[in-house]
Structure 1
Amino acid sequence: MSTFAAIPLVMSKRMIFYIVFFAVLVIGFFGFISYSIPGFMKPKLPPISTVKPFAFINQDGGYTTEKDLAGKVAVVNFFFTTCKSVCPKMNNNLKPVYEQYKNNPDFIIVSHTSDPERDSASVLKRYSDSMGVDNKTWIFLTGRKDSLYSAARHSYKIDDPKNFVQDINDDFLHTQFIALINKKGDVVKIYDGIKPSEVKEMEVDISKLLKE
C-alpha cells in the first residue's frame, strides 16, 4: 500500500518540475526576443500631437522647416537668451543629452526663442557659440512672435493654448517644458526640463525612439 501511495506524489513533483522548466524556457525566449528586436514587447509612446508646418529663421540666418525634423527624433523647447531663471537650468540640463546623441544623425535639438524682438539670428548664434554646440545637432530658431507661440501651444503642447491673449504684444511665453518628437513627427511626451530626473527619463525614451 505504501508503494502505490507514493506514486501520485512522485508524479506530482515531476509535473511541477516540467511546468517550472517550460515556464522558465518561455520567459527566457521572450526575454531574448525582446532584447534582440527593438520595440518588441515594449509599449510605444502614444502621440499627443503632430508637428505642424513651420518656417523659422535659424542662428545662421537661413530657414529651418518641419522637413528638417523629418525622420529624426527631436527634442524641442522654448527659451530666451536674457532669461536668468528657468532657461539656463533647462538648457544646461539638455547639454548632457546633446553630448550623448550629438553624433547620431537621426537626433536633433530645436530651441525656439520666446523673445524674438531681442533674440535675432545673430544673438542666437552668439548664444549657441557660448553653449559650445554644433548647429547640425542643436539649432536655435527665431521668427514672428505669434507663429512661435502658436507652435509652442498647438504643435508641441508645451503651453496651454488658453494662455493666448488678444494682443500678441502683451503675451509672453515662459515655460520649462520640453517636447519629444518621434521620427514620424508625432509629439509623444512632455517633460519638465528643470527636473534632472525627468531629463534622464527623456534620455531613455530617446534611445527607444532611435531604435524604431
Structure 2
Amino acid sequence: MRKNTYIGIAAIVLIFGIIVLPKIYQRIINDDISRGGRMHQEGGELINNAPDGLVYINQNGIDRKVPDFEFLNQDRDTISNLDYKGKVYLVEFFFTRCTDICIPMSHNLKSISKKFEGRNDFGIASFSIDPEHDTPAVLKAYKKSYDVTNPNWHFMTGDRAQIRKLSNEGFYLATNEEGDEKDLYHSGLFALIDKNGFIRSRLDPYGNPKPYYRGFVPMDAQVPEGGETSEIDILVEDIQKLLQ
C-alpha cells in the first residue's frame, strides 16, 4: 500500500513538473514574476521589502494578492477572502477521495495548525476540487477525521468552474483544466498569504522567488538521493516571520 502511494505521488509530481513548472519558469524569465531584491509599492510610495525577509510575488508589475472568493465551508457558512483579513494563512487545493498526496498534505497541515494552536491570526483555506462529491457534510466528516480544532481552518466547496479558476488563474496551483474531467489532479503545493492578503515567498538559491511550498512530502519522510524533500519546516519558519 505504501509503495503504491509513493508511486502515485511520483506520478503527480511528474505531471506537475511537465505541465506547470515550465509555465512558471517562462513567467520568471519574461519578468512576469519578479526576481528578488525589488521594492514593494503601497499607497503610491515605494518601501523596502518587509523586514520579515519574505518577498512579494510580482506579476506584470503588480504584487499578487489573493483573488476575491466566496464558498460554503463544512458548516454551510459562507466564507470569503475577507474572513481571512488580518490573518496569516495557507492555501491548498485537495479532495477527500484522494488516496495519494492529499493524505500527507492533510497530516502536514494538521501538524502546522497544532504549532499555532490558540492563535486567532493564523488560518488555513482548503478548497475541494471535487465539489460534486465533497458536500459540506462530507467535508465536515473529513475535518473530524483529522481532529481539526483551529476555527480558522475552513474546508470549502462550491462551483467547480469557480474553484478551477481560483486555483489555475488565481494561484497558479494546477488543477484540472476546463473539460478535463476524467481524472482529478492537483499540484500538492501550499501557498502562504500574509495578513494583508499578499502571496509571499522566500528566495531560492538563485535569488528568484519560490512561490510555493511542497505540501505533499511527509515531514518525517525518508527521501532518496535526488528526491523531493519536505518543506514544512521552512514553511513554519516563514509563518512565524509573518506573525511577528
TM-score norm. by structure 2 comes to 0.65
Aligned partners of 1:44 and 1:200: how far apart in 2? 15
Aligned partners of 1:191 and 1:208: how far apart in 2? 15
Aligned partners of 2:123 and 2:134: how far apart in 1? 21
Aligned partners of 2:126 and 2:94: how far apart in 1? 7
Report what 1:123 is aligned to: 138
Is 1:210 aligned to residue 243 of structure 2? Answer: yes
Q: Secondary structure at the match of 1:71?
A: coil
Task: Say which of 206, 214, 221 aligns to 1:192.
Answer: 214
Q: Secondary structure at the match of 1:50?
A: coil
Tell me the alpha carbon deviations over residues 118-154 of structure 1, each in whole angstroms, 9 at most, x when there is no partner.
0000000000011111251311000001111111122
| TM-superposed deviation, 1:169 | 4.3
Report what 2:106 is aligned to: 91
Aligned partners of 2:147 and 2:126: how far apart in 1? 14
Report what 1:152 is aligned to: 167
Report what 1:79 is aligned to: 94
Q: Determine if contact 2:72/2:78 at 8 Å carries over to the other structure.
A: yes
State percent identity of aligned pairs: 34
Report what 2:157 is aligned to: 142
For structure 1, which segment, 180-189 or 46-55, has the greater mean C-alpha deviation from structure 2 after superposition? 46-55
Report what 1:108 is aligned to: 123
| TM-superposed deviation, 1:50 | 1.2
Q: Secondary structure at the match of 1:136?
A: coil
How many residue pairs get aligned? The number is 169
Q: Determine if contact 1:164/1:171 at 8 Å carries over to the other structure.
A: no
Is 1:62 aligned to residue 53 of structure 2? Answer: no
Q: Secondary structure at the match of 1:74?
A: strand
Structure showing the higher helix proportion among its residues? 1
| TM-superposed deviation, 1:102 | 2.2
Is 1:44 aligned to residue 54 of structure 2? Answer: yes
Q: Determine if contact 1:149/1:173 at 8 Å carries over to the other structure.
A: no
Is 1:183 aligned to residue 195 of structure 2? Answer: yes
Q: Relative contact order (alpha carbons < 8 A, sep ≥ 6): 1 or 2 greater?
A: 1
| TM-superposed deviation, 1:174 | 2.1
Task: Name the aligned partner's letter for residue 198 of structure 2.
Answer: D
Check 1:52–1:114 CA distance in 2 against 1; reply closer, same or farther (3 A cut): same
5+ residue gaps, structure 2, are: 1-49, 59-63, 202-211, 220-229
Task: Name the aligned partner's letter for residue 210 of structure 1.
Answer: L
Structure 1 runs of 4+ aligned residues shifted over 4 Å read 168-171
5+ residue gaps, structure 1, are: 1-38
Tell me the alpha carbon deviations over residues 1-46 of structure 1, each in whole angstroms, 9 at most, x when there is no partner.
xxxxxxxxxxxxxxxxxxxxxxxxxxxxxxxxxxxxxx64x52322
Aligned partners of 1:44 and 1:76: how far apart in 2? 17
TM-score norm. by structure 1 comes to 0.74
| TM-superposed deviation, 1:170 | 5.2
Task: Name the aligned partner's letter for residue 82 of structure 1.
Answer: R
Task: Name the aligned partner's letter for residue 99 of structure 1.
Answer: K
Q: Determine if contact 2:66/2:170 at 8 Å carries over to the other structure.
A: yes
Pair member with larger Rg:
1
